[in-house]
Amino acid sequence: MKVFVLGSCRVWKTAQEFKWLVHDFEHSVIQCHYADEILQRLMWLSDDTKKTLTPAEKKSFRTDMTCKRWLSLRQRFRESEMIFIEVSSIKKSLHDDDIFTNLLRGCPSAISSNKCIGENIKTIYKTVLNENKKCIFFPHVNVYCKKIMGYITNRTCLQDIFREVSRTIRITVVDPTEIVATFGQNRCMQHINGRLDVNHYTTYMIQKLGYYIQATF
Question: Angle CA(70)–CA(75)–CA(124) in degrees, nearest 5?
Answer: 80
Name the phi and psi angles at 191, rounded to 5.
-125, 140
Structural domains in the chain?
3-214 (3.40.50.1110)
Note down pLDDT in tens along the chain; length 217 residues. Answer: 899 999 999 999 999 999 998 888 889 999 999 998 999 999 999 999 999 998 888 888 988 999 999 999 999 999 999 999 999 988 877 655 555 554 444 455 566 667 889 999 999 999 999 999 999 999 999 999 888 889 999 899 999 999 999 999 999 999 999 999 999 999 999 999 989 999 999 999 999 999 999 998 8
CB–CB of 92/13 below 8 Å? no
pTM of the model: 0.90
In terms of Cβ atoms closer than 10 Å to its own Cβ (0-12, 13-18, 19+), residue 176 is buried
Q: Which pLDDT score is estimated for 93?
A: 75
